[in-house]
Structure 1
């Protein structure tokens, strides 16, 4: 049989793997090490760059970070799956983010019940408040 001939065949020899970083990878690694050394040296220098009076004490939260944090907060509080961010707005006090979640999974998926939650975050990403703004069937679209 043809299957028997394969079974008796010699096993393929595997070449030993040679692990060698590619040139760009090696350059990135060296650059990262140099940047870490520079950062350590700046921290050790007495009188190195100090925060000025007009710089905020905490780093400002970017839009992408605010959206990710809002999704995390809403999914943790509701215990439901997130579909995505529907709105994002910077306010005087932080961020206002709309997060769409699946309230109820149904068969077929086009009949799932979705909801939009509005999460308000402060400048550091902490949740200030959240509320459900809208609830609708996935297949209904703008017919709400």
Structure 2
């Protein structure tokens, strides 16, 4: 009598089975949370932007830096603080955002303010 594996026509180690198991796992395990693994960089970026937006009430324009730290992530996020005409005179700010290993915002601070048309003098 043929086994189920033989009648299905699939190889005993079918990659589709692994994908199905992955889909059944709780979300926390798929993105690295709760497993001792670091959150993926794209997820950390989204979390930093979303949580800073919630606190400031302004949508961040971009992330200029993202780096892993011992127990999470640190990001530098650019936010439009004062819109002016012409737009090159609008005031932006850089915020340093610290996320813990689960992606929760632990701290933020404004580290710099500048006009949009300003070019860094750092080389």
Please state if 1:90 is matched with 2:72: no
Alignment of 1:1-144 (within 5 A): 38-39=20-21, 57=35, 59-143=37-121
Displacement, 1:141?
1.7
Q: Normalized per residue, which structure has more strand?
A: 2
Structure whose CA Rg is larger: 1
TM-score (norm 2): 0.69
TM-score (norm 1): 0.60
Displacement, 1:115?
0.2
Flag the structure with more relative contact order, 1 or 2, with Cα contacts below 8 A and sequence separation at least 6: 2
Name stretches of at least 5 consecutive residues in structure 1 with no aligned partner.
Answer: 1-33, 44-55
Name stretches of at least 5 consecutive residues in structure 2 with no aligned partner.
Answer: 1-15, 26-33
Asked if structure 1 preserves the Cα contact closer than 8 Å seen for 2:99 and 2:105, the reply is yes
Aligned residues: 98
C-alpha distance in structure 2 between counterparts of 1:84 and 1:37, whole Å: 33
Asked if structure 1 preserves the Cα contact closer than 8 Å seen for 2:77 and 2:97, the reply is yes
Asked if structure 2 preserves the Cα contact closer than 8 Å seen for 1:59 and 1:124, the reply is no
- The structure 1 segments of at least 4 consecutive aligned residues displaced by more than 4 Å after TM superposition are 34-38
Q: Normalized per residue, which structure has more helix?
A: 1
Q: CA RMSD in A?
A: 2.7
